Each structure stands twice: as C-alpha cells, then as structure tokens.
Amino acid sequence: MLKLKNVSKFYYNKGIIATGFTKVNLELKIGEFVVITGESGSGKSTLLNVISGLDSYEEGEMYVNGQETSHYSEKDFEDYRRKYIANIFQSFNLINSYTVYQNVELVLLLNGYKKHEVKKKILKIIDEVGLTKFKNTKVSKLSGGQKQRVAIARAMVKETPIIVADEPTGNLDTESAKEVIEILKRVAKNKLVVVVTHNIEQMEQFATRIVKMHDGRIIQNTEIKKVKNEPQAEESKYHNISIFNKYRLGTRNTFNIKSKFLLLFAVFFFISAAILAEYSSFQMSEEETKESGYSVGFRDLSEKRILMNKKDRTSFTDEEYEQIKKLSNVDYVVEDDVFIDGGVSIAKGEMSFYGSMLDINNLKEGVNYGRMPENDDEIVLEINEEHYYIKERIDEVLNKTFSIQKSQGLNAWTNESVREITIVGIRTYSNEENNYEIKFYVSKNILNEFRSEMNKNYSTLKIFMNNKYEQYTLEPSDSVPSGTAVVDDEFKYQFKNYKIKNQPLSINVENIYYKEQLNLSITNTYTKSNFKKLTGKDKYDTNRYTIFINTNDYNSLFNKPSYQSSVYVKDEKQIEETMNQLENLGINPKKVTDFRVNQGEIYQRIIKIIKVVVTIVLIIVLFFISYLIIRIILKSRNIYYTTLRMLGATYKNVRRILDIELFINSTLSYIVLLLFIYCVKQNVIHLEYIAKLSEFLHLKEYVLMYVILILMSRLISIKFARKLFKNTAINTYNEEV
C-alpha cells in the first residue's frame, strides 16, 4: 500500500546541506504494526514526517496505492493527509482550550461532517479510549496519558487507512504507556500503524515489523509477523468544510481564550477610534473654514478699505493726502498702511498684547475707560470687551507702562524694548464688531519712529560680502562711522589670509514698496573684549554674527515715506465711485477684498487633500502596527492553526476560520465604539471634545470606517495565513514550537 524506493530527504540551512535520511527502501501493508527505532538523530522522525506527508522529499519515489507522489505540490500533500493519514504526536498537538469532545470533533468538522452527524461516533470513540467521564473537560486539565488518549481518539475518528505516531509514549509513565500501546494495537487490525520510538522494549511484543535506522539509513527491516497483503487501502471519505462549521470554529476561537479576545478587541477598538478621530478633526477644520476668508498680505479685509499707490510709483505728499481726505465718501486715510497689516507687540511682565498700530487722529469715537493721550508716550488700546485682561484685570492695564518689543522678523519678537508707552485710554467693542482684533492708537511721531522697524519686518535683506550673498542680522549703532560696518571677528575666516578690514560690503533691501542698496566698507571686527567699545551695545553673546552700521545709514535703508496707503470709506456701496475719483487724482486704487481668498474654496480643497493623504497614511501605518501587535497576540494560536493544517485543513480553510475570528472581534469592538460615541452624544458620558468631533461624523463615515476595519482584518488574516503556509507543515510547526 505504501512503498518507498531510494527515497532521500535533505535540509538546506544558510547554504549548508544536512541529511535527514538517505536511499530508504521500504514497503508497508495494511494491517501492519510497524515500529521504527534508532538513536536520536538517526532520521526516524524525519522518515515518519515524509510518510505522513508533513514533509517533502528530494530524491527517489514514494508510492501510495501504486501512485507516484514525487510530483506532489503542498496542496496534493494536504489532500493526501486528508485521505490517508491520521497523526498522533509526541507533544499531543491538542487544543488546550477545547474540551475532549471538541478536540475529537475538530477533525470531523474540518473534513466536512455536520455537527449533528458525528455526536454518536465521537462519544463511541471517546468511550473506547476510556475518557467518557472527561468528555466535557478541557484538555489543559488532563494528565499526559489522558491527553495521549485524546490524540488517539482524534486519529481513530478520522478513519484513515494509515495512523502514524511519533514517540506516542515518550512523555508517559509506564502504566499510561502500556495503555496507549494496547489501544494502538487494537486500532492496527485493519489499518497500517507506523510508530516511531526509541524504546523498542515497549513495542516489540505488538510489532509485526521492526525497522531500525542509523545515521539516516535503514540497517534492519525485520518482518516479525506476516500479514495479509491488501492490494490497496480504502481512502477516507471527506467533504470540504461547510460554511457553518467555519463559523462555528471561528466563533469558538474568538471567545475560548479571554485574554486573547480582550487584547484583539483593544487593538481593533484603538484602530477604529484613531481613524475616526483623525477624520472628524479634518472634517471639523473643513467646516470651520467654509465661511471664512483670509489674505496672505492683509490682516484687515474690511469692505470699506481701499488700497492705493501712485501711478508714477512715487511716495505720497501731505498735499496729496489733503486732496484725498476732501473726497465726499472718504472717512479717513491711513498713511502707513503697513501698520494695519503688520503687527506690534507690547508687554509688561507676563502680560502682553499683539495688534496693529494706527494714527490717534483716526480714533473718532473716544474711549470707554480712561482718557485720550496728551503726549507722544501715551496711547489708546482698542480691544474686545470680552478679553480676559479687560474683564478681570483692567486695573493692571489702564495707566500702566508697557514696552514696545523689538521685531525679529515677521510676527516674531524679542524681549528687547524699543520704546516705553503708557496706556491712558481703552476703547472696547462687542464680539459682533470684530474678531478679537487689537489696535494701538499712537501719535504720528511714534508712527514715524516705527516706520523703519515695520519696513525692515516686511523686507528681504541680503548682504553681499566676500563675493557671495549672506543673510545676517543687521543693527544700527551711533558708535559706527557713516559709510562703514563693524562685523563679528569670526567673519574673517571667510576671507583669504583672514584679511577682512577694508573689504567691501553691500546691503540690499527689497519689499513690495521699494528697493534700496547701500555700499559700505568693513573697518573693524568685534570680539567679546572690544564689543561695547566698537558698537556701544551690551550683551555680546546675544549679538554674535550681527553686522552693525551707522544709524543714519540704517535709516536710509528702512526709514522711507509712504508708498502705499489705505482709504476707509463711509459707505461701501459707493466704493466704486470713490475709486474712480482716486484714479482721476493719478492714483491706482484697489479694494482690499479683491485680495481675499475664500477659505471655503481654497482651504477646503487643501484640507480635503491633506485629509485623504493623512487618512491613507494613517490606515497604512495602523495596518502594519496592528499586524505586528495582532501577530504577537496570535502567536499563541500559531500552534492551533498549524495543527489544523496537520489535521488536513487547507490554506483556504485556515484563512476562512481566521477571517471569521478577526471579523467577529473587529465587529464587536466597532459596535462598542459606536455605543460609546452614542453615550457621549447623549451626554451620558461627559467628554466635550469627543462630542464636538462626533458632530462631524455621519452615516457614510461610520459605514466607510467599518468597511476599512473589515478590510484591514481581512488583510491581516491573509498575511498571517500565508506565513503559516509558506513552508511544509512540519517545518512550520517546528518553527513555532
């Protein structure tokens, strides 16, 4: 029935070839009780694995019922194991979380039997091995001898013509070993039983044939008792596993180990929550930008504001401003509109305000608290009436001295004070009037002082030194002679032979209003010891790599007249007529609202693109993270699924059972998440931010999330199942144990 002709098995590991056994010739018949023995490493277990189809072979031919098997694929060997082979393992390979009944039942469910068809058969076989009173006991609670009886019962119930047993008594005491051997002997009457053992004395009296191996070869093949030669063995009948059995096993596996269930539940719950939270956050941002507008260059987008510059690109004169103010619809003119769109920071201790600086003459409504300014050091603060400092700490603001902070670039400020001012008046407005904009109304003299600072803030500064452009900090100093520059001593290393003195230095300033170039000569370099003497400044460490030039030279770069101003009209409905009047005065007028970008169109598109990209990336990242975590969690199940494979389950069977297990777990976790969100929305659970996020999730998002979750669980199942089937059954099993 089973014939091996010059069969050899080799192992390949990191370029090294090892021999399992070589040139084995053996013929076995139905009814035989064959005992294969030999010392450890002789190849007896490897031979048994080849006979049982758990492992492949490289040379020779193995015949089953006269049919060659050398061309068999892994799928063919799966079919062979289902038809012909029942295994009894030394380590039992039972499912510890199953009962005795469920372990025996498992092999029949895998082979397509219906649950109601097999009950009597299972109970009969359990009784034959003497375990009736333990049929509902979990295998983990049985002794070694009892576990081996369960393994024999599982092999018997399959009704295959061949039973193979690898060291079936190796882990048992003498009494238990004797009982197991007697059961095997009874089974061998109409089957081929092949037993591997190192203890020949236990098996010798039952054996019909003894095969002894040494160093991968058969050195003895003794037929002790002649058996009738059956021409062919009858194949075991089986069907493909039914969908009901798949769901039965998948459901059973979901809940049979509580710790595994809870860990998988937590992983899927986290995946769902993370993706929904990320998606709803973008949805919220998208909704919030629908009605808003913005401009990169302009902060005040009032519909009453007109931007203007002269057609000949020259600066405005006082006479021209007076002409503009006389137009009937003109409310007021802001000569330096860079102060409208730029920002100034004032601070006193831990208290600070950031806002626009405007001419005090443009404040016509008066103040709500305090008084109007009487000199250059006094200002009026315009602020929202709901601002914390106004509602709670107004006494710390009104009539208190603040420092105007030094600019370090657009919207960036240092702690260095430029000028001190006192807030003597406060004008407040309601929430409906503005969106928390802060304005500082100051004298014209202060505006003139800060024109240089604002121009610098909005300018591109390039310094040409040693034949290349560099970007360094530029500061004014009355101690530096006009037409010269003092630089850090470290700069000398950029020059040939460190000769930096008398080298040319060119400063280029460019902004939307003008371009300016200043050519200087480097006359000296500063170090820590001479820093104050050369620059008149303190704080050497915070001024490293700064270029100091004469104050007048500095002002020539930044203290420029107004090239662009703004007009505010009384009635925005007549703004077109006012713009026509301005054109007649040689002015280019432009409504500031023409520069407003509708965030509901542009920002939403940007957010949608980012949302899609981030969501896809998040899903991919979470998939791999969750796979690694789930793989660790399922590590305890590797032996289970490998055992299913050794019992005859195909790749598709194993994957479907795993699909169902992960599907149930992910679905339950998602249902719990939905219940949690519902409780938050109903204010049963008080979580304000989550409640707000949930407002931006609708039915389609919840359905899409569920589809994504199921697809992820499916992909994890496929990836995990492929790993289990990437090698032969016995090699996969050995990797896991």
Other beta carbons within 10 Å of 636: 14
Which of 82-96, 589-603, 638-652 comes out lowest in average pLDDT?
589-603
Give strand ranges (E) for 341-377. 344-348, 351-359, 369-370
What pLDDT digit, counting tens, does each position of 167-204 carry? 888 777 778 788 888 888 877 678 889 999 888 888 88
Assess whether pLDDT exceeds 70 at residue 408: no
**What pLDDT does residue 239 have?**
72
Assess whether pLDDT exceeds 80 at residue 140: yes
CA-nearest of 648, 632, 631 to 722 is 631
Mean pLDDT of 242-271: 87
What pLDDT digit, counting tens, does each position of 413-424 carry? 455 667 899 999
Cβ contact 485:548 at 8 Å: yes
Q: Are strands 67-68 and 16-28 parallel, antiparallel or unpaired?
A: unpaired
Report the percentage of the chain scoring pLDDT > 90. Answer: 34
- Comparing 141 with 720, the larger pLDDT belongs to 141
Q: How confident is the model at residue 16 (pLDDT cuts 50, 70, 90)?
A: confident
**What pLDDT does residue 91 have?**
80
Assess whether pLDDT exceeds 50 at residue 411: no
Q: Is the pTM of this model over 0.85?
A: no
**What pLDDT does residue 116 have?**
79
What are the structure tokens assigned to 54, written together?
A: 């758990």
Whole-angstrom CA distances from 237 to 83, 84, 194, 383, 646 are: 7, 10, 21, 88, 17
Q: Rounded distance, CA 84 to CA 673, Å?
A: 48
Q: Rounded distance, CA 244 to CA 115, Å?
A: 9
Q: Rounded distance, CA 128 to CA 186, Å?
A: 10
What is the H or E stretch that residue 682 is in? Answer: none
β-pair partners for 506: 464, 519
CA-nearest of 622, 620, 625, 706 to 670 is 706
In 3-state terms, what secondary structure has residue 330? strand
Other beta carbons within 10 Å of 593: 17
**What pLDDT does residue 181 have?**
83
What pLDDT digit, counting tens, does each position of 156-173 carry? 888 888 999 988 887 777
Q: Rounded distance, CA 443 to CA 627, Å?
A: 67
DSSP 611: H
Helix axes 651-681, 602-646, angle to 10 degrees: 140
- Cα 625–chain centre separation: 8
Which of 212-221, 673-682, 713-722 comes out lowest in average pLDDT?
713-722
Which of 282-291, 356-365, 590-599, 656-665 comes out lowest in average pLDDT?
282-291
- Comparing 629 with 288, the larger pLDDT belongs to 629
Other beta carbons within 10 Å of 193: 26
Cβ contact 333:415 at 8 Å: no
Amino acid (1-letter code) at residue 132: T
Cα dihedral 448→454→455→461 (10° resolution)? 140
**What pLDDT does residue 604 have?**
64
Q: Rounded distance, CA 531 to CA 534, Å?
A: 5
β-pair partners for 13: 16
| Count of residues in the chain | 737
Assess whether pLDDT exceeds 80 at residue 409: no
In 3-state terms, what secondary structure has residue 483? coil
Mean pLDDT of 505-534: 91
Mean pLDDT of 241-255: 86
Assess whether pLDDT exceeds 70 at residue 729: no
* Residue partners of 226: CB distance under 8 A and separation at least 6: 208
**What pLDDT does residue 289 have?**
62
Assess whether pLDDT exceeds 90 at residue 34: yes
Determine whether 295 is exposed, middle or buried from the number of CB atoms within 10 Å of its CB (0-12, 13-18, 19+).
middle
Mean pLDDT of 608-616: 81
Average pLDDT along the chain: 85
What are the structure tokens assigned to 723, written together?
A: 């790993």
Q: How confident is the model at residue 636 (pLDDT cuts 50, 70, 90)?
A: low
Q: How many CA atoms lie within 13 A of 18 on its CB side?
A: 9
In 3-state terms, what secondary structure has residue 380? strand
Which of 151-155, 381-385, 593-597, 616-620 comes out lowest in average pLDDT?
593-597
* Residue partners of 656: CB distance under 8 A and separation at least 6: 241, 246, 250
Report the percentage of the chain scoring pLDDT > 70. Answer: 92
Q: Rounded distance, CA 160 to CA 191, Å?
A: 8
Assess whether pLDDT exceeds 60 at residue 290: no
β-pair partners for 526: 488
**What pLDDT does residue 444 have?**
86
Q: Rounded distance, CA 616 to CA 98, Å?
A: 40
- Comparing 516 with 600, the larger pLDDT belongs to 516
Which of 8-17, 311-320, 494-503 comes out lowest in average pLDDT?
8-17
In 3-state terms, what secondary structure has residue 226? coil
What pLDDT digit, counting tens, does each position of 447-501 carry? 887 877 777 877 889 999 988 888 888 989 999 999 999 999 999 998 888 999 9
Q: Are strands 293-294 and 597-598 parallel, antiparallel or unpaired?
A: antiparallel
CA-nearest of 133, 87, 34, 83 to 236 is 83
- Cα 241–chain centre separation: 38
Other beta carbons within 10 Å of 147: 24
Other beta carbons within 10 Å of 217: 15
Q: Select, from the ranges 9-23, 512-526, 630-644, the one with the highest average predicted confidence (pLDDT).
A: 512-526
* Residue partners of 104: CB distance under 8 A and separation at least 6: 122, 125, 126, 150, 153, 154, 157
Cβ contact 472:506 at 8 Å: no
Assess whether pLDDT exceeds 70 at residue 734: no
**What pLDDT does residue 156 have?**
85
What pLDDT digit, counting tens, does each position of 358-407 carry? 889 888 788 999 999 999 999 999 999 888 898 889 999 999 999 988 65
Region of 465 (left: φ > 0; alpha: ψ -120 to 50; beta: rest) is beta
**What pLDDT does residue 406 have?**
67
Mean pLDDT of 33-37: 93
What are the structure tokens assigned to 673, written together?
A: 């998440």
Q: Rounded distance, CA 297 to CA 595, Å?
A: 8
What pLDDT digit, counting tens, does each position of 354-372 carry? 888 888 988 878 899 999 9
- Comparing 434 with 666, the larger pLDDT belongs to 666
CA-nearest of 498, 404, 407 to 446 is 404
**What pLDDT does residue 434 have?**
47
**What pLDDT does residue 429 have?**
87
What are the structure tokens assigned to 701, written together?
A: 């998002």
